[in-house]
Structure 1
Amino acid sequence: MALSDGQLPWQWPKELEGKLRHDPETLSLASTDYGNIVHEKPLAVFYPSSIADISLLIKFSNSLPTPFTIAARGQAHSVDGQAMALNGVVVNMTELNNYRNGSGIVVSEKENYADVGGEQIWIDLLHAALQHGLTPLSWTDYLYLTVGGTLSNAGISGQTFLFGPQISNVHELDVITGKGDLVTCSAGNNSELFNAVLGGLGQFGIITRARIALGPAPTRANMNWLQAKWLRLVYRDFSAFSGDQEQLISLNGKSPDYLEGHLLLNKPPLDLSFYPPPDHPRISSLLTQDGILYILELAKYYDNHSHTIVDKEVEELLSGLKFVPTFKFERDVSYEDFLNRVPNEERALRSQARWDLPHPWLSMFVPKSRISDFDQGVLKDILLKQNLTAQGLELIFPINRNKWDDRMSAVTPDEDVFYAASLLQSSVIDHLEDLENQNNQILQFCKDSGIQVKLYLHKYKSQEEWMEHFGPKWKKFQQMKAEFDPRKLLSPGQEIFTN
């Protein structure tokens, strides 16, 4: 139960008071997130009119005998309440758009970077960069997420094998620490804070600016010619599917520009919209026989200079791959439409009133050495056999670990290649408990089988589990918390230091 102002053992400073909202509608909005599973009401929601306002809020909390917790909220795309602050204050980061007055993204064409407000969303950075013939290198599949939010986790997608996660493509940050200090940091300046914050789950500071590395877009001559050849290949055998993915991410200089894999499971609703309608019956026939198909999805970018050779490049990429013969499907779309492909699915879900359903997602990193065991024990013996009613997508694709910087807080399995496995399911009515039980069963299987997975975009239930998650990084993680947020104010929804 949230406290009211009349119950508070302090008075808000005048500089803050007018920027705090306590009305039921605002508090209700701040007490839910995309997951729609956890609901925790804050004391207030803070609408900053400047960066200095956030610093003042944090310093005021630090001045109290018993401080209140503070959570930065961007798009609140978390699924386990990570953007919430029970009886604390939620900072509405998007309000900084008004403060910046359109200057939240500044592109340096000469230096190939963009200075981006932590509250800005990636789709807007894409648009701004393309105006200068540039593009960010690493993405998430969904671009309507804030820069500060994804950098607090890692930020992965089908480009991660090539360029690393988004946190590997940052030159510099402005961070307001848990003490209220505004600090500019980079790999060479205040490096401990820089490395701690990247992948640090919001524990050490609030990102207010990030300097993001940009690369040249495939052409500067005619942006309308910036295209993607988008392919999906169908596999019946997991070892062929995983082997081909691993081969493709090892092709230095000749790899695809994007690579992910996902599953087709023989359960409704079956989405075959990517494929030509005349091919639906034969895909469905394979799926009926096997129950599960593996889809290798890749893209190759081209422009008005390379469009004459892109088909030959794709043919060379596919040479020797072991997908089912004649089950190759491709589209030509614009570069932007390819990167921003998820909103089409979002619109469909919203039209079916499915967007706001609970989302008991389970995402993890799986060591390459155990991925076949994961396929048999999780994908076949649990997902396929239980066949629970749910709508969603199951992703599985390999990542090169040498593209990650181990000095940063983000944690991965200790193998040269590991897989991102994400079960992105939406619950239908009365099925949330079934899906949560299934997630627990999957984690228990991995534990019992000795598959040392690392959870991603998920929170553990105890500090002991967090300690196990961070492993050798835990001691440093604790030290950085004591250094930059000694009173444990920030990001309480992660429940790392609150249990």
Structure 2
Amino acid sequence: MSSTHRTAAGTAAEPSRRRVLGGIATTAVAVVGWNTVSQTWATAAEAVGNSDVVPVPGLVGTLETTPGVVDAFANDFGHLFDGAPSKPWAVLRPGGVDDIVKIVNYARANNIKVAVNGQGGTGDDIESHSVYGQARVPGGISIDAKGMSKILSIGADHAVVEAGVTWGQLTDRTLQVGKTPPALPDYLYISIGGTISIGGIGGTVQRYGLLCDTVQSIDIITGDGKLVTATATQRTELFNAALSGGGQVGIIVRVKVKLIPAPKRSVIFSLFYANVETYLADSEKVLADGRFQVHAGEMLQKPDGSGWRYKLEVGATYNTTPPNRETLLCGLQDVRADAVIEDVAFRDYMFRLDAYEAVLKEGGHWYTPKPWLSMFLPASKTKQFMKRVEQELDANSLGGGFLLFYPFFTSKIKRPLAMMPNESVVYLFDLLRFPNPGEPGIQAMIDQNRRLYDIAVELGAKRYLVGSIPMSNADWKKHFGNRWTGFVNAKKKFDPQNIFTPGQGFFA
């Protein structure tokens, strides 16, 4: 990732190769329009007397076609669709919402595809955090979300942010006034707009639902170039299609997200189980009685590498008086001698993956292709499926990664396109592979994903939009089930020219 951005920086030092519109450097070659016949951007010289060139509207920001820039936006965190086939024609660095409105109108009129690129991460490793090309827009316009990354206001019970703000930025700002978003992803350096467009999940899902369930309103630019506000009661159809709809009905530019009082500290219990049966029993026990504020877990290798065990990771938050640990652990069947209990600052737990990110980068795992498999399993079939998974996977299947695995209530999920199994309790199954550098079996892992997905679907599972699973239009129709027709209608209504986010492949 960092090498990509060094390349972009390098080309910026060669102005003769740059093509930029808006905020133009005096030595830059200006792009003035789109050639509808050759399907390429045209310079002023190329546009003279050429009726095939449609002028681009004036922008406060920039529209860049520099090779280094479009190359960078052809890649994502998953590195499974990198390179030329995924290249956009141009990258919009918006100077404001009006720039995005103008470009959407221009794209619609000229049949150019458009997608937002979240551009999350840390340090120099900034890029789309999709893992299966979901944010790519071959031959279209990629919108750099960093151009809309302001925190606009912090209120008593909500924050208003531009869609490119990351959860980490928002959390740090709200903690300054004793507040926090009620639901956060495990990795905080991803854009809020991108996350809520696919749902977003974290360790408080059993209390607050998906991240998109904590959104109170959105400002969104629809396919007809209109900027509108949508809520659960105002433009409900648009609101429901935008949250967990994979970016199909518009470009979210502003978000009003709920805030709650932030605790000062958390007691985190890492409890280990030798088998899936005991883990499932305890997971559902603490889910039902609600004794913990945070509830996550995972399947992981035994320390000696001899097979699998399970970890229940639960947390109790407080301000001044620590909770009674014996009461919280009462009735649980974990291997108590293996338990790890830590009392940590609330912020430290929220940003706990910072250290792990550094380890993955140091070992090279951060930069490898990522064939992830993300699904929701019906609780009644979870044991059966996990027994199969125990047989299918080994240590090499994970590389430097992990397999998140924990239950929550489907009653907490409010947005209709966040598809869930038809049971009251479901399990997140999130196989987040970080393959070893040089791993030759990436395609075999993707094939395994598809095989496990088919098995899970037969058991009543639904996929989560994050993952790396080859899907046909028929697969997507089956996935959305009785909500497919409504989704198709929303697409036709709010994106009639079908210009938004082609990388998801829903309507291919």
Q: Distance in 2 between matches of 1:453 and 1:104?
A: 34
Q: Distance in 2 between matches of 1:388 and 1:63?
A: 46
Q: Which residue of 2 aligns with 1:79?
A: 131
Secondary structure at 1:156's aligned position in 2?
coil
Q: Which has the higher contact order (CA 8 A, sep 6+)?
A: 1
Q: Which residue of 1 aligns with 2:19?
A: none
- Offset from partner CA, 1:13-52 (integer Å, 9 cap, x none): 2414972111111011100100011120111111110101
1:397 equivalenced with 2:444 (yes/no): no
1:150 equivalenced with 2:161 (yes/no): no
**How do 1:6-405 and structure 2 match up within 5 A?**
6=42, 9-16=52-59, 19-39=62-82, 40-64=86-110, 67-74=111-118, 75=120, 76-97=128-149, 103-109=150-156, 112-218=157-263, 226-252=264-290, 255-266=291-302, 284=303, 288=306, 291-304=307-320, 306-307=321-322, 310=323, 312=324, 314-378=325-389, 380-384=390-394, 388=397, 390-405=399-414
2:61/2:96 contact within 8 Å kept: no
Change (3 A) 1:345 1:105: farther
Q: Which residue of 2 aligns with 1:496?
A: 506
Q: Distance in 2 between matches of 1:167 and 1:202?
A: 13
Secondary structure at 1:391's aligned position in 2?
coil
Change (3 A) 1:439 1:481: same
Q: Which residue of 1 aligns with 2:478?
A: 468
Q: Distance in 1 between matches of 2:301 and 2:459?
A: 26
1:210 shift after superposition: 0.9
Q: Distance in 2 between matches of 1:62 and 1:476?
A: 22
- Offset from partner CA, 1:183-235 (integer Å, 9 cap, x none): 011112111111111111000111111111111122xxxxxxx1111111110
1:140/1:157 contact within 8 Å kept: yes
1:469 shift after superposition: 0.6
Could you list the runs of 5+ residues in structure 2 that have no partner in the other structure?
1-37, 121-127
1:445 shift after superposition: 3.1
- Offset from partner CA, 1:333-354 (integer Å, 9 cap, x none): 1101101111211111112222
Q: Distance in 2 between matches of 1:334 and 1:325?
A: 24
Provide TM-score, normalisation by structure 2.
0.85
Provide TM-score, normalisation by structure 1.
0.86
Q: Distance in 2 between matches of 1:214 and 1:374?
A: 36
Q: Distance in 2 between matches of 1:427 and 1:492?
A: 27
Q: Which residue of 2 aligns with 1:416?
A: 424
- Offset from partner CA, 1:303-332 (integer Å, 9 cap, x none): 22x23xx1x1x3222111111131211112
1:360 shift after superposition: 0.7
1:431 equivalenced with 2:431 (yes/no): no
1:105/1:128 contact within 8 Å kept: no
2:59/2:95 contact within 8 Å kept: no
Q: Distance in 1 between matches of 2:194 and 2:61?
A: 26
Secondary structure at 1:296's aligned position in 2?
strand
